[in-house]
Amino acid sequence: TQLLEQSPQFLSIQEGENLTVYCNSSSVFSSLQWYRQEPGEGPVLLVTVVTGGEVKKLKRLTFQFGDARKDSSLHITAAQPGDTGLYLCALPLTGSGGSNYKLTFGKGTLLTVNP
């Protein structure tokens, strides 16, 4: 059972369009992170959301944490080819050592923005 479900799995759009991708869980989480992974590279942290209902903006990207802290969304306005990549949500979880933060990832949304 996947702790984090991301949708859609694949998304192909034209430059200039808007899009939203989702990250959902049946569990409540204290915080959630969004990463972008470009081909041939490692994931890069975009944002961490902590408070239920929180909205964070990063240029054309808007991240929202659900009020119940069980879901999150990423909205991209006027997508550009440079936005192409795999968008991953991740939960920082306490590891077996107690205070350690291992990351549990969703399987991601593969976004392609065509020029």
Using CB under 8 A as the criterion, which residues of the chain lie in contact with other proteins when the complex forms?
31, 33, 40-45, 48, 88, 92, 95-97, 99-108
Q: How far is the CB of 17 from other proteins (least distance, A)?
A: 26
Task: Pick the closer one to other proteins by CB: 60 or 102.
Answer: 102
Task: Pick the closer one to other proteins by CB: 16 or 101.
Answer: 101
Q: How far is the CB of 105 from other proteins (least distance, A)?
A: 4
The whole-angstrom separation of Cα 72 and Cα 22 is 6
Q: How far is the CB of 102 from other proteins (least distance, A)?
A: 4
Task: Pick the closer one to other proteins by CB: 17 or 41.
Answer: 41
- DSSP β-bridge partners for residue 22: 7, 73
- SS3 of the chain: helix, strand, coil, percent, to 5: 5, 55, 45
Cβ-contact 14, 113 below 8 angstroms: yes
Q: What are the C-alpha distances in Å from 21 to residues 14, 25, 48? A: 16, 14, 16
Q: How far is the CB of 47 from other proteins (least distance, A)?
A: 11
Task: Pick the closer one to other proteins by CB: 42 or 82.
Answer: 42
The whole-angstrom separation of Cα 45 and Cα 105 is 12
